[in-house]
Amino acid sequence: MQTFQATLEGFAFNRLAPYESWEVFSRDARRLWEIYKEVCRPTHVTRAAIRYINQINIPINQLIELKDYLKTVPEVSPNLSQNALQTFIMQLQIPQRDLDSMLIINEAIAPPTHPDFVTIVFDLDLFRQEVWNSNSEEIWLFLDKLRDRKNEVFEASITDKTRELID
């Protein structure tokens, strides 16, 4: 499923599961962008971004250690009760200086999709605030770079146990 939002102030294109390739996503977004430009006639773009909201479903068949699935997790003080963590929300904002952009990582426990699972949200948001001409090819080249960085961040953030769940 895909959604498209267009206002005089902005344009957004989203794809929900099941996913296809980046090439298909990018092609569809670009087609809709061209229609948007015809109708709304924007002169410039002030923010380019990609966001991937991943849902990781971890089976509850033993005591779950978040660090077995994600490489960056909140650490609970050993002076506090070590009973099962009920919920957490964590946000990291990490400048990507080489891309002159910002990476925001959000991690949280979400309502489970099934009673036999713990659901973790792993949300990656990469963006740059800049003024581009609305006809600039640079926007699309930059979005490709953000997508590559997202892949690097995702791979650097998950463990083999997570890879087993998503393969």
For the chain, the domain total comes to 2
State mean pLDDT over 17-27: 90
Residues 135 and 56 in one domain: yes
pLDDT at residue 3 in the model: 92
Tell me how far the alpha carbon of residue 29 is from its chain's centroid.
17
d(CA 70, CA 49): 24
Residues 62 and 32 in one domain: no
Residues 107 and 157 in one domain: yes
Nearest to 76 by CA among 67, 92, 54: 67
Residues 79 and 12 in one domain: no
Write out pLDDT tens, residues 50-70: 999 999 999 987 778 889 999
Residues 6+ apart with CB under 8 A from 33: 11, 13
Write out pLDDT tens, residues 73-90: 988 888 876 566 778 999
Residues 29 and 69 in one domain: no
Alpha helices, H only, the chain:
22-40, 138-157, 160-166
Q: How confident is the model at residue 141 (pLDDT cuts 50, 70, 90)?
A: very high
Residues 34 and 67 in one domain: no
pLDDT at residue 83 in the model: 64
Range of the domain at 109: 46-166
pLDDT at residue 120 in the model: 94
Residues 6+ apart with CB under 8 A from 123: 51, 52, 53, 54, 104, 105, 106, 107, 108
Q: How confident is the model at residue 132 (pLDDT cuts 50, 70, 90)?
A: very high
State mean pLDDT over 86-112: 95
d(CA 1, CA 14): 8
Residues 36 and 55 in one domain: no
